[in-house]
Structures are given as structure tokens and as C-alpha cells.
């Protein structure tokens, strides 16, 4: 691990002021950052410990929804009554990720910033990675790419975003609140993470001097009818090959009034399945409709040597997740 200067921030303004130091990084739960520092992938010169900041509350804002402090631990969020009752898809997604120990450490803000598990990124022994070393090429495109992207990728990078929590937040239209040296701003969830394009090393639209302070959930009355389906190699403690966050509102005649679908394991960012949603609204909620929606979403998908199976897997996962939610009382 490279040497770094350690400091502990006592308030968000101080943390933001420290963030302009050379190669500065905020330290939250550390579950991803410290791991990457051990690997030599992350080499911060200044590490700003933000764990003492007062950002660990979950606030019921009534008609304005729920505000989740950036330092709320994944386990506390998953178990919170407001989340379990109002946003079960988020609770399910959180509990499907990592292990109890890691969930006790990992923060909401850190989860948004966790980095890809692409083998070529994670191990500096591989010379090629446009994230680690822009311009060096992508080892995965011609390499072993079983876990890689099928949607929205570029010829520079086919890595995927690894979070489960973020897939649920994408479906829930969450808003990320940040504080920077120029003040506070809100970033709609869809605009927070980026597709790789020609700059896969820039993964989010967060600026160097900005600190995530909270994530806001809007009121979505029908979010109680929701489900997170995670398909993976092991039944537990594994990253998703494909995952689906589905929220569905049906009318009396079983027609789709409103629907939200987001996909994990398929793209460089949490993938909101807008084409599937558009094809579903107003239709009868049955397997045929769900399959047509899945086909519409995956029409643009592109597979590689080892991951083409994800295209059909994603379609079936969409159908199964929607079928599960449609059957809920």
C-alpha cells in the first residue's frame, strides 16, 4: 500500500476543503477503497476519513419521501422500517449483496462510488486497462469477459458496475445530494454514473471537491409492489451476473399503470430499462407482454466471447422479476 497522509474530517465543509489536496480520497467504510489500495489500484496521497461526519441518519420527510445519509451503513438501511415497508426492493437488493460483515461497514455514499470488479482493472499485473491507465487499451474485450457488459459499452471499456443497491436506487428514481466547494447540488440518479465512452476512467459526474451527503428517495406509493431478482454463480455472497429491480403498478383489469425496471450486471452504470417500461405501459400484465418488453430492452445488446449468455439470461430475468411482482397481492 502506498504511503498517504491521514486526516479525520469533523464537518462536511472541512472535508470538502481537504478534498482539493493532491490525490485526495474520502474514506468511508473502506471495503472497496482499502482493498483497491492493497492491490495498488488506488494510490491516494491524502486520505480523508469522513466516518465522524453527522451523515448517518435516515430521515422520514413525509410527503417528500425519505432522506438517507451518506454514511448510513448498508445493513442499517436494509433493516430500517421505512425501507422495508415503503421500498422493499431496496432492502432486498442490499441484503443480496456482499456479506453481513461487509454490509455493517459499507456506506451508502461509498456504494455509489464502488468500482468495477473487472479482473483486468483489479489486478495491475495486467498491462491493459483504460480505467487504470487511460490509453493502454482494454484487456477484457479480447480476453476473458464472462462477467462483462452487454449494454452501453464502448470499444474502450466493457466493465460493469457491481452494485446491487444502486440498481434498486435507479429504479426508485433516487436523487444524490452532494456538497462541494461551490455549495450543494442534486444529481438525478440516472445522471450520476456514466457510460464508458472514450473516458472509462471517469465513472461518475461527481467532482473532485464534492462529497455525497445523502440520497433522497421520492414517494412512490406502488413501490411496495417490487422485487429484486439477482442471478449469480453461487446462491449467496457473489456479484450478480444479471439482476433486475422491478416495481409494478397494475389496475383492476391487470393492465400496467406504471412500471420501473432497472438492470444490474449488464452495463457500466445501473441500467434503467426505459424501452421495456415504455413497451409495458397500458398492456395486460402477462408473460407474453413481459417477454416483448425484455426483447425490446435487449434488442441493442451485444455479447462477447464469454458473456453472450447474459443476453438471454437478462430477458428471462426481466420476465421472472415482473411475473413475481405481478403475482403480489
Partner 1 sequence: MNESDAPVDSGLEEFDELLILSNLETRRKFIKQVAGTSAAITIGPALLSAADATATSQIASPSKSNSDSISMTLKINGKDYTVDLDPRTTLLDALRERLHLTGSKKGCDHGQCGACTVLVNGRRINSCLTLAVMHEGDEITTIEGIANGDELHPMQTAFIEHDGFQCGYCTPGQICSAVALLKENHANSDDEIREFMSGNLCRCGAYPNILAAIKDAKTKST
Q: By the criterion CB under 8 A, which residues form the site for partner 1?
A: 1, 3-6, 27, 29-31, 34-35, 38, 47, 49, 51, 75, 98-102, 104-105, 236-237
- Rounded least distance, CB 1 to partner 1, Å: 5
Residue number with CB closer to partner 1 (10 or 101): 101
- Rounded least distance, CB 39 to partner 1, Å: 8
Distance CA 119, CA 159 (A): 9
- Rounded least distance, CB 27 to partner 1, Å: 7
- Rounded least distance, CB 41 to partner 1, Å: 12
Residue number with CB closer to partner 1 (4 or 120): 4
- Rounded least distance, CB 296 to partner 1, Å: 34
Residue number with CB closer to partner 1 (39 or 190): 39
Q: Where are the alpha helices (DSSP H) in the chain?
A: 12-18, 33-39, 74-79, 81-86, 88-95, 100-105, 108-112, 119-122, 165-171, 189-192, 274-280, 287-298, 309-326
Residue number with CB closer to partner 1 (122 or 192): 122
- Rounded least distance, CB 312 to partner 1, Å: 28
Residue number with CB closer to partner 1 (49 or 295): 49
Q: Which of 322, 323, 300, 321 is nearest to 311 (CA)?
A: 300
- Rounded least distance, CB 52 to partner 1, Å: 9
Cα dihedral 68, 72, 75, 76 in deg (nearest 10) = -70
Residue number with CB closer to partner 1 (101 or 207): 101
Residue number with CB closer to partner 1 (110 or 265): 110
Residue number with CB closer to partner 1 (123 or 312): 123
- Rounded least distance, CB 49 to partner 1, Å: 6
Cell numbers linked to 102: 461487509
Q: Is 265 left (phi over 0), alpha (psi -120 to 50) or beta?
A: left
Q: Which of 178, 265, 285, 172 is nearest to 221 (CA)?
A: 172
**Which own/partner pairs from 290-298 qualify as long-range (CB within 8 Å, at least 24 positions apart)?**
290/318, 290/319, 290/322, 290/323, 291/315, 291/319, 293/261, 293/318, 293/322, 294/318, 294/319, 297/261, 297/263, 297/273, 298/150, 298/151
Q: Is 256 left (phi over 0), alpha (psi -120 to 50) or beta?
A: beta
Q: Is 205 left (phi over 0), alpha (psi -120 to 50) or beta?
A: alpha
Cell numbers linked to 272: 434503467
Amino acid at each position: 500500500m502506498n504511503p498517504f497522509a491521514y486526516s479525520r474530517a469533523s464537518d462536511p465543509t472541512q472535508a470538502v476543503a481537504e478534498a482539493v489536496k493532491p490525490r485526495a480520497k474520502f474514506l468511508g467504510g473502506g471495503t472497496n477503497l482499502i482493498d483497491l489500495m492493497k492491490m495498488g489500484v488506488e494510490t491516494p496521497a491524502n486520505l480523508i476519513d469522513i466516518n465522524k461526519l453527522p451523515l448517518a441518519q435516515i430521515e422520514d420527510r413525509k410527503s417528500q419521501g425519505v432522506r438517507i445519509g451518506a454514511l448510513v451503513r448498508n445493513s442499517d438501511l436494509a433493516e430500517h422500517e421505512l425501507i422495508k415497508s415503503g421500498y422493499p426492493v431496496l432492502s432486498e437488493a442490499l441484503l443480496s449483496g456482499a456479506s453481513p460483515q461487509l454490509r455493517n461497514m459499507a456506506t451508502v455514499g461509498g456504494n455509489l462510488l464502488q468500482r468495477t470488479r473487472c479482473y483486468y482493472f483489479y489486478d495491475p499485473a495486467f498491462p491493459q486497462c483504460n480505467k487504470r491507465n487511460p490509453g493502454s487499451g482494454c484487456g477484457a474485450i479480447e480476453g476473458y469477459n464472462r462477467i462483462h457488459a452487454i449494454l452501453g459499452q464502448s470499444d474502450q471499456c466493457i466493465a460493469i458496475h457491481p452494485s446491487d443497491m444502486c440498481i434498486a436506487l435507479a429504479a426508485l428514481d433516487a436523487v444524490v445530494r452532494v456538497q462541494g466547494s461551490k455549495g450543494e447540488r442534486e444529481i438525478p440518479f440516472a445522471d450520476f454514473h456514466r457510460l464508458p465512452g472514450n473516458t472509462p476512467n471517469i465513472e461518475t459526474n461527481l467532482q473532485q471537491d464534492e462529497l455525497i451527503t445523502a440520497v433522497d428517495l421520492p414517494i412512490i406509493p406502488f413501490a411496495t409492489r417490487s422485487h429484486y431478482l439477482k442471478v449469480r454463480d453461487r446462491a449467496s455472497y457473489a456479484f450478480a451476473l444479471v439482476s433486475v429491480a422491478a416495481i409494478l403498478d397494475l389496475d383492476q383489469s391487470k393492465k400496467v399503470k406504471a412500471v420501473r425496471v432497472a438492470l444490474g450486471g449488464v452495463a457500466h452504470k445501473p441500467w434503467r430499462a426505459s424501452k421495456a417500461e415504455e413497451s409495458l405501459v397500458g398492456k395486460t400484465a402477462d408473460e407474453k407482454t413481459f417477454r416483448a418488453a425484455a426483447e425490446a430492452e435487449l434488442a441493442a445488446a451485444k455479447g462477447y466471447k464469454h458473456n453472450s449468455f447474459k443476453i438471454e439470461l437478462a430477458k428471462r430475468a426481466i420476465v421472472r422479476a415482473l411475473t413475481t411482482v405481478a403475482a403480489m397481492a
